[in-house]
Structure 1
């Protein structure tokens, strides 16, 4: 009796010492590939797309009769990505080779004889390099069973002008007419998928797709202040207080200049005493900068150090040069300082957060100039400025076939959190407590008639907690069942009201500053003022 596909996969996983089950859509992809079909897989970041081609060589050996060996050719956009994949494949005892660096004579002979089951290369390595003859040699013509295009959205993004060899990837179909093709990406709209399929000559393919939603990532968009100080004072405070225990954060800047501005701000305000874990060095600094002009030495330090759980480097200030192919499971916050150039870029980069499945955050600090028609696309502008759910907008744009969203209101997006009235809402992250641009302009223009003071993110969090404790006491004193009532209406302290108070606490000196603007009960206003004075101290206007 023929062995079932599930049993075959179970046995292959055991052979590769993979001690966890495949996800449903991983199995769907592999079963279709085993049936010699082309597959276009659109799966969320962190879903485990690279595991598919780790399994493919053994799977093809199983399904093809009289096959001595099976080679899977992987086309990948970045050297760092390919090197990372070679290292990851070793964990599964899968031999692989990256064609793009110097090899010794023995390794070259093994490559030429087709002894590596997975061969990774860039389009340029084949079309513009010296490896073209290799792929037309008898071993490769006989044994290449599948072609994988990793990060296949690059074929559309880069193929026209930037890296034109991407537009020629479809030529591989004529060189390996019997090989099936697997296209992998996390971000491709229906229109983009159609274009990519044309470039790759995928006329008949099986689409495997699921909602692009990552429930553990909360999406926030804030119109940012005008200065780096007003935007990132919270980060300075956080590093100063928590040092090497600061949660990992990637800050994407629109250009190298703004990377430098933010790096210099941290350096000048933290000083050497708050910038290093131990001896001052690039490896021990709590923050680092990564862009195409960063030295290879520093890039290597970042790539080797930042993914480690105990890395001294906690914050990466980067352009889009950082991220693709770098697997860092415990990044808690991704920030875009300035709206991304495209909505697809936002989708890719926000997905760097929370790959370990823990609750994480993606924040956009936008300015009117970087959401203009020439600065970003219309979809990204709408995402940044919409007053409806950002998560739903994102999911409906990228995977309209599956718009499933399962996040709680208070961890969905900033819009949904403001309407959440549950009593279990987590504290706002300090990155979300900055004074928005309009408020800062108002504060500056009203400085003579309306006083305001500096409030740290730690103080804001403390005030928020104390107001929430006040709300709980009010509910307890009422001694009624709150499950059928709106807590915000009952106490006058909805989540939105609390957030407004915390965001504007720099203006609060008296009960008059609280009444009408935030609450309408004098006793409640006095209780809130007592909390503010307890945390900030009594200060005259």
Structure 2
């Protein structure tokens, strides 16, 4: 009698067949699967989750031995046809026979599966949970070969399969996948995703009826990506993206690659049209747009181009439909043009860049009217908070921060950059060049010469100086507790007071006051404004408003804007348009 093959032998076999070395989490996931456990696998974008369902039937075949006479079979549920096409191609290049059910189950497909062909079934949830899909599962040779059901991009179970109370169910079939357990043989069910918050994870586990499941996870944090938030008072792409137009005009093919994500096809079209209008004919080929209505050949061309680090496209304007499963190469900059509805959407989109580990930049850009589609509490905390944005992301997913921790604050996020003292008591490292250009494009401080002039009396000058210094002293508290230095500890550096006094002859509106001077937080800025306007009797200044209309890093209001509709859901061949979208 031969020695019974071990799990480690099976993993080595699959690794060889796929021509890859398994990562620790991939190996753990396959080992738990081979032991018969249900799985919840949450690994960052670009980690290689698909290796789990490609490797599963290879491992099972090895353990069963060569005398069985048929291949093991894994069923994989996927949300987009583009994803299925991509995985079909990858499987075939690895020598794995796979079949696509998204176009329906033909007699030829049914016969091939009944005769033991194919190791992977790739299907949309609509086909698999429909009558033909259920019938296919009952075929004896299919049931006998079946080794597991895998739900890729499983966050779709929660986001599209369930009603939130304010939105209708988008793809009801996602909420029916769990029902298949009643007709499946006793095989593991595996949920795979890159972005599942704690709440989403609970919903997925319940909907798919995962029992005694094993969790394989890692933080979605990508330490090479710097996170930045900017807010504009303009809803015009011409203004907000002027820096990117100029980059393309000046540098052409040498321009850094950008992904620009928009909240709807309508905004995608507007932004793309802006580029086409602004750019010379010789540069228009460097910009493309991608959404659910793009022709198949256009979508495939864009995916292929972004799979090449030396591709021609420099700027891609897209909905979230672009990205799932796409191995984006040579791209280190992403702009969310409009605040995403959910933090997991933000993580999905920001995770498209920096796949090679190089320093990358993710900018979330807010403008008037962009949040009528609604935003979750998690994304509000992310954009409104006054502490580390990276920590806000990690906290939502309930994972420890990546072991590759960001040690340099100016590489973490825009908020941490303000606190960086890598040169001793200061930070002398400029922000990322493209971050600076974007900031200048939408958050430029006005020149003092653009404001009215009003020279205060000596008494007013003295009162302002005295009141600001008294307020600063009140913020300092006990001197014995100041280990970080008084300027950092109190949030009102003496240099800021000096700047305010230096500009005293200029009538500065509140919005510019709060933006021009680096206050530690919103409350300090508001109190300094109260002292300033009261001491100089400038309580009502032309251009001042109750709601601050524009900021970058230091403003905290988020949802006061109203505007056009942004509640369209976009996904491949499945879409729901708002009634007002024409």
Q: Do they superpose with TM above 0.5?
A: yes
CA contact (8 A) 1:253 1:317 kept: yes
2:279 matched residue in structure 1: 270
In the alignment, structure 1 residue 233 sits paired with structure 2 residue 235: no
Question: Which stretch of structure 1 is more off in the superposition, 51-60 or 401-410?
Answer: 401-410
* 2-structure distance, mates of 1:2, 1:141: 25
Distance 1:425 1:113 in 2: 64
Q: Within 1, Cα distance between the matches of 2:98 and 2:233?
A: 49
From the superposition, tell whether residues 401 and 171 of structure 1 become closer, same or farther in structure 2 (CA, over 3 Å): farther
Q: Per-residue deviation at 1:308?
A: 2.3
- Do the aligned partners of 1:392 and 1:403 also contact (CA within 8 Å) in 2? no
Distance in 2 of aligned mates of 1:12 and 1:301: 31
Question: Which one of 447, 452, 458 corresponds to residue 450 of structure 2?
Answer: 447
Moved more, 83-92 or 389-398: 83-92
Query: Are 2:215 and 1:212 equivalent residues in the alignment?
Result: no
Q: Which residue of 1 aligns with 2:171?
A: 163
- 1:159-308 → structure 2 map (5 Å cutoff): 159-160=161-162, 161-226=169-234, 227-275=236-284, 285-308=285-308
Give 2:382's aligned residue: 383
Offset of residue 106 of structure 1 = 6.3
- Corresponding residue for residue 112 of structure 1: 114
1:448 Cα deviation from its structure 2 partner:
5.4
More moved, 44-53 vs 351-360: 351-360
Distance apart, 1:94 and its partner CA: 1.4
Contact kept in structure 1, 2:125 and 2:177, CA below 8 Å: yes
Residue 445 to residue 439, structure 1, CA distance change in 2 (3 Å)? farther
Once the two structures are superposed, the pairs formed by residues 321-340 of structure 1 within 5 Å of their partners are 321-340=321-340
| Residues 149-174 of structure 1: per-residue CA shift (max 9 Å, x gap) | 10111011111311111111012212
Which residue matches 1:531? none
Q: Report which stretch shifted further, 359-368 or 386-395.
A: 359-368
User: 1:306 and 1:129, CA in 2 relative to 1: closer, same or farther beyond 3 A?
Assistant: farther
2: distance between equivalents of 1:4 and 1:113? 29
The TM-score normalised by the length of structure 1 is 0.76
Aligned residues: 449
How far off is 1:290 after superposition?
1.6
Q: What secondary structure is seen at the aligned counterpart in 2 of 1:433?
A: helix
1:454 aligns to what?
Answer: none
Matched, 1:123 2:125: yes
Q: Shift in Å at residue 386 of structure 1? A: 1.6
Residue 138 of structure 2 aligns with which residue?
Answer: 136
Tell me the distance in 1 between the aligned counterparts of 2:393 and 2:403: 11
Where do 5+ consecutive residues of structure 1 fail to align? Answer: 276-284, 451-484, 501-506, 508-515, 519-541
Q: SS in structure 2 opposite 1:331?
A: coil
2:8 corresponds to: 6
SS of the residue aligned with 1:72?
Answer: strand
Distance 1:388 1:42 in 2: 26
Q: CA–CA distance in 1 between the matches of 2:161 and 2:251?
A: 44
- 1:336 Cα deviation (Å)? 0.6
Superposition deviation, residue 313 in structure 1: 1.4
| Matches for 1:37-56 after TM superposition, within 5 Å | 37-56=37-56
Secondary structure in 1 aligned to 2:312? coil
Once the two structures are superposed, residues 353-411 of structure 1 have per-residue CA deviations (whole angstroms, 9 ceiling, x without a partner) of 11222221111011364457x62112112211222110011001113466756023222
Tell me how far 1:147 sits from its aligned partner. Answer: 0.8
1:222 offset after TM fit, Å?
A: 0.9
When residues 378 and 109 of structure 1 are mapped into structure 2, their CA distance, relative to the original with a 3 A threshold, is same
Normalised to the residue count of structure 2, the TM-score between the two structures is: 0.71
1:247-306 deviations in whole A, cap 9, x for unaligned? 22111112223222221221122121332xxxxxxxxx1011122233344333323333
CA RMSD of aligned residues (A): 3.2
User: How far is the alpha carbon of 1:27 from its aligned partner?
Assistant: 0.7
**Compared with structure 1, are the counterparts of its residues 436 and 129 closer, same or farther at alpha carbon in structure 2 (3 Å cutoff)?**
farther
Deviation at 1:17, TM superposition (A): 4.8
Change (3 A) 1:293 1:21: closer
Q: Is the 8 A contact 1:306 1:314 kept in 2?
A: no
Preserved CA contact (<8 Å) 1:34 1:63 = no
Query: Quick check: 2:308–2:329 contact (8 Å CA) kept in 1?
Result: no
